[in-house]
Amino acid sequence: MAKSKIQPLADRILVKRLDDDEEQKVGGIIIPDTAKEKPQEAEVVAVGPGRLEDGKRVASEVKKGDKVLIGKYSGTEVKLDGEEHLILREEDILAILS
């Protein structure tokens, strides 16, 4: 992937959802993309400088390249270079996957 053209502000983080390679099937019927659940795993693409707390900058706990678990409906969808991304706040990240 090319270098991100977006630099998130404050405690916002730019992520790209990781697609499941398996097609969802129910009783032998293939579920169309529009009806599939959105994946909750994502990769961090860019991280803002952190939130301000008592006038001091508090750095984010995640870094570029981390695999994270996010809420199904968190963040704001944006399209960069034809690819879907999400911008969300650090508090919307549920966990870092190892």
Q: Is the pLDDT of residue 94 over 50?
A: yes
Measure Cα distances from 58 to 47, 54, 74, 90 in Å. 12, 10, 22, 12
Which pTM does this prediction carry? 0.76
Mean pLDDT score, 77-88: 91
Architecture of domain 12-18+37-97: Roll (2.30)
- Per-residue pLDDT tens over the stretch 3-15: 557 899 999 999 9
d(CA 6, CA 70): 20
Q: What percent of the chain has pLDDT over 70?
A: 76
- Concatenating the DSSP letter of every residue in 22-73 gives SPPEETTEEPPGGGSPPPSEEEEEEE-S-EEETTEEE--S--TT-EEEE-TT
Count of Cβ atoms closer than 10 Å to residue 92 Cβ: 18
- Per-residue pLDDT tens over the stretch 22-45: 555 556 666 665 555 666 899 999
Mean pLDDT score, 72-84: 89
